[in-house]
Amino acid sequence: MFEVKNGMSKNNSQEIGDNHVGTSAKTPLRDDAFAINDEEKRVRIEKSVREILTTLGMDLTDDSLQGTPKRVAKAFVNEIFSGLNPANKPKLSTFDNNYKYGEMLVEKNITVYSTCEHHLLPIVGRAHVAYISKGQVIGLSKMNRIVDYFAKRPQVQERLTMQVVQALQEALGTQDVACVIDAKHLCVNSRGVRDIESSTVTSEFGGKFKDKDIRREFLDYIKMDTDFE
């Protein structure tokens, strides 16, 4: 028998294969994820990248490659996976809805740059986020920032969609939050079936957005042509 932990068997990597499986809405982090600081992480990652490139047969004495391990390490810690560190979570300050705006607010076409946690290849697309105020409102740029924060980590698109909604629900004190993400996965587009046309759409609807009429209104908004050029 296989040992089962959190619903997954001990040899789950063989069982999962290329399937997109998420075990939780929370990013799977070890308890000691922040036991070492960012500088030490960069040092360790640089060493690992150097070993990977050397194993692949690359000549790291070449001028073009000499700085690659350091550049990759810096990019991983400071940029691409900076959303793993809760210290980088944007402050989601809210304000009283003094103007009594009672309709949904939609922020559409938020750029998504993330990384598939199965092959460490890019996920690129757009997020559309909406909420209905229950007395509090949030700065528009904060919606972009919270998408970017959760995107900057090894991700599964389904989890990313849920995390954005849950973070805004907590900040705004309402369940009436929705998110739709449409993105291309380079693990599909550039390897495997190499289908460059397909994209993945995920959604999470909370509170009033579970009502089909309100959900339809939101979906109609994000289909609107807002090209003002």
Shortest CA distance to 148 belongs to which of 227, 221, 88? 88
Shortest CA distance to 153 belongs to which of 93, 204, 89, 206? 89
pTM of the model: 0.86
Average pLDDT over the chain, rounded to an integer = 89
- The Cα 209–Cα 163 span in angstroms is 16
Active site residues: 116-119, 157, 185, 187
- The Cα 133–Cα 139 span in angstroms is 12
Confidence of residue 227 (pLDDT cuts 50, 70, 90): low
Confidence of residue 187 (pLDDT cuts 50, 70, 90): confident
Residues 6 or more apart whose CB falls under 8 angstroms from that of 172 comprise 94, 131, 133, 134, 136, 137, 138
- Domains, the chain, with CATH or none: 32-80 (1.10.286.10), 94-223 (3.30.1130.10)
Specify burial of residue 200 (Cβ count, 10 A radius: 0-12, 13-18, 19+).
Answer: middle
Confidence of residue 229 (pLDDT cuts 50, 70, 90): low
Which comes out higher in pLDDT, residue 28 or 190? 28
Whether 87 shows a pLDDT value over 70: the answer reads yes
Rounded CA Rg of the chain: 20
Convert the pLDDT of each residue in 195-221 to its tens digit.
888 899 999 999 999 999 999 999 999
9-28 average pLDDT score: 56
